[in-house]
Amino acid sequence: MTKRVAFLTLGCKVNSYETEAIRGMFEAAGYGVVNFKELADVYLVNTCTVTNIADRKSRQMLHQARKRNPDAIIIAVGCYVQAKEEELLEDSSVDLVVGNNRKSEIVKLVENYRADNDINTNMVIDIGSEREFEELSIISTMEKTRAFIKIQDGCNRFCSYCIIPYVRGRVRSRNEEEILEEITKLSEAGYKEVVLTGIHISSYGTDRLDEKEDLYRVMPLASLIKAIGAIPGIDRIRLGSLEPRIITEDFVKEIAGVKQFCPHFHLSLQSGSDTVLKRMNRKYSSHEYKDKVELIRKYFENPAFTTDIIVGFPGETDKEFEETLEFVQRIRFSAIHVFKYSKRAGTKAADMADQIPEDIKHQRSNILSSAARQMSADYMDLFLGRIESILIEEETIIEGKPYLIGHNERYLKLAISSNKDISNNINQIMNVRINKKLNDEILLCDIK
């Protein structure tokens, strides 16, 4: 009988990529993949530890798996494992504890455990001393049109609120040849769009530079984007979250010359107040951030800017919050992900004085979210009447009517009324004219 394995991914797109790679390894070993809510012989939870809530969710999912099948092998992998190794080793719901940079060994570990469940179940390494990128690759994803590609791991920034450098380790970059080989195979399998992701992709290649080489002259990330643009069949290249400091005129000029590059920039901000940015240990000012945005707008027409903002950071005054609100309105983001600060044990911010009460965090979150919705609406209005290209991703029903849904290069969500003549166009790029808003998130289009 075929052994069954179920996966659950918590957290970021890097975790999603790693789960997809692990899924491929289990399938190659003859396992059948089932839904996490179904009965399985092996349950794997790829955990997250970015907040205390993420820790709790990770524990809950591991315990749910044990209840679903008491005889199954339960595997905890990833960031929560790195942060709470001892706690998990004492948890009777968990059989295998596998940290970061050991995920490529998962199938072998499961088979060894199945043969002798008295083996050492602790596979957590000292991630801080790890210097080699763990090679994983995918041949397909659950998303049928867009593939996320992990190009690096780790972070050297140590923002005062963030635990990730402690559980992901220092920057480790993947070999360009391996990245290009993986993307070439995905292109041959029919994928048209790739998204480059990692823990801190702005640091891609910095660990491989010679001591005499200058990051801003060599520009390894721009070089990688250009190389991907030469792969036949790849029509779109996107980037995950970027740090503002990587944005130089040379960098923007290089990527603007790659016709497949999508002008959608998730440019990390976190606060529009310089005093808050300093307490966060961010390495830029609001003025520097604005300069980077203006530089990008110099080379791209109506680029989409999305970002993350933390409200209620320790010590954030009303004046500092107002500075953030005024700043984001000057930048005119197309979307903002608003987060209420959550104390994370093990970070410097957790021990800072003047922790903000939850009701004030909630109030500030509502104010900023309202402003963000208006900015999103204003950005959508810029595209009314324009001819855009859509990569069709799925067919869905909205208010009882069938639509084909996809995104343009700037990651605006577009919809076309579906019928039998075009319903088989999933994973196709089509030119459309944007007519009106279907709702607050989707623009309605006609085929050009």
Residue 124, number of CB atoms within 10 A of its CB: 20
Q: Which helix (H) or strand (E) holds 370?
A: helix 358-381
Confidence class of residue 142 from pLDDT cuts 50, 70 and 90? low
Q: Tokens 């019928």: give the residue.
A: 419
% of the chain at pLDDT higher than 90: 79
CA dist 42 and 3 (Å) reads 8
Confidence class of residue 216 from pLDDT cuts 50, 70 and 90? low
Confidence class of residue 138 from pLDDT cuts 50, 70 and 90? confident
- Pairing label, strands 335-340, 387-398: unpaired
Sign of the Cα torsion 421, 427, 433, 439 reads positive
pLDDT of residue 218: 74
400: left (phi over 0), alpha (psi -120 to 50) or beta: left
CA dist 158 and 281 (Å) reads 7
Classify domain 128-262 by CATH architecture.
2-Layer Sandwich (3.30)
Confidence class of residue 419 from pLDDT cuts 50, 70 and 90? confident
Classify domain 267-381 by CATH architecture.
2-Layer Sandwich (3.30)
Domain boundaries, the chain: 4-125, 128-262, 267-381, 387-447
Domain 4-125 and domain 128-262, same fold? Reply is no
pLDDT of residue 118: 53
* Amino acid identity at 147: A
Read off the tokens for 4.
């069954």
When the pLDDT of each residue in the chain is averaged and rounded to a whole number, the result is 92
- Pairing label, strands 442-447, 429-437: antiparallel
Q: What mean pLDDT comes out for the span 117-145?
A: 69
Sign of the Cα torsion 397, 402, 404, 406 reads negative
438, 435, 137, 436: which is closest to 448 by C-alpha? Answer: 435
Is 90 exceeded by the pLDDT of residue 241? yes
> pLDDT, tens digit, for every residue of 28-75?
999 999 999 999 999 999 999 998 889 999 999 999 999 999 999 999
Q: Contact at 8 Å (CB) between 43 and 71?
A: no
% of the chain at pLDDT higher than 70: 94
pLDDT of residue 448: 78
pLDDT of residue 120: 47
47 bridge partner residues? 78
Q: Tokens 């969710």: give the residue.
A: 57
Confidence class of residue 124 from pLDDT cuts 50, 70 and 90? low
CATH 3.40.50.12160 fits 4-125, yes or no: yes
pLDDT of residue 102: 84
Confidence class of residue 85 from pLDDT cuts 50, 70 and 90? confident
Q: Contact at 8 Å (CB) between 360 and 312?
A: yes
Q: Note the helical H segments in 131-271.
A: 164-168, 176-188, 215-218, 220-229, 249-256
Is 60 exceeded by the pLDDT of residue 86? yes
CA dist 199 and 17 (Å) reads 12
CA dist 19 and 77 (Å) reads 10
Read off the tokens for 317.
């005054």
Output phi, psi for 295, to 5 deg. -65, -45
Query: Which region among 100-109, 237-246, 255-264, 357-366 has the lowest average model confidence (pLDDT)?
Result: 100-109
